[in-house]
Amino acid sequence: MVGSDMYRQQILDHYRNPRNHGELEDPTFSHVGENPMCGDEITMDVELAEDGETIERVAFRGEGCAISQAAASMLSERLPGKTLSELREMDRDDVLDMLGVDISPMRIKCAVLAEKVAQDGAEIYLGEKDLDRTSTE
Partner 1 sequence: MGVQDAEPLDVERIREDFPILDREVGEGTDLVYLDNGATSQTPESVVETMSEYYRTYNANVHRGIHRLSQEASIAYEDAHDRVAEFIGASGGREEVAFTKNTTESMNVVAYAWGLSELGPGDEVVLTQMEHHAALVTWQQIAKKTGAEVKFIRVTDDGYLDLDHARELITDDTEMVSVVHVSNTLGTVNPVSELADLAHDHDALFFVDGAQAVPNRPVDVEAIDADFYAFSGHKMCGPTGVGVLYGKRHLLEEMDPYLFGGMMIKKVTFEESKWNDLPWKFEAGTPPIAEGIGLHAAVDYLESIGMDRIQRHEERIVEYAYDRLTDHDDVTVFGPPGDDRVGLVSFDLDGVHPHDVSQILDEHGVAVRAGDHCTQPLHDVLGVSATTRASFYLYNTREEVDALVEAVDAARELFAV
Nearest approach, Cβ of 98 to partner 1 (angstroms)? 19
Residues 6+ apart with CB under 8 A from 75: 58, 60, 95, 98, 114, 115, 118
Q: Cβ closer to partner 1: 34 or 123?
A: 34
Nearest approach, Cβ of 109 to partner 1 (angstroms)? 10
Q: Cβ closer to partner 1: 17 or 51?
A: 17
Q: Cβ closer to partner 1: 15 or 125?
A: 15
Q: Cβ closer to partner 1: 50 or 106?
A: 106
Residues 6+ apart with CB under 8 A from 90: 115, 119
Nearest approach, Cβ of 132 to partner 1 (angstroms)? 19
Which of these, 49, 85, 65, lies nearest to 14 by C-alpha position? 65
How, if at all, do strands 133-135 and 29-35 pair?
parallel
Nearest approach, Cβ of 123 to partner 1 (angstroms)? 27
Residues within the interface to partner 1 (CB under 8 A)? 1-2, 4-7, 12, 15-16, 37-39, 64-67, 104, 107, 110
Nearest approach, Cβ of 43 to partner 1 (angstroms)? 16
Buried b (16+ CB within 10 A) or exposed e, 48-68: beeeeeebebbbbbbebbbbb
Q: Cβ closer to partner 1: 48 or 67?
A: 67
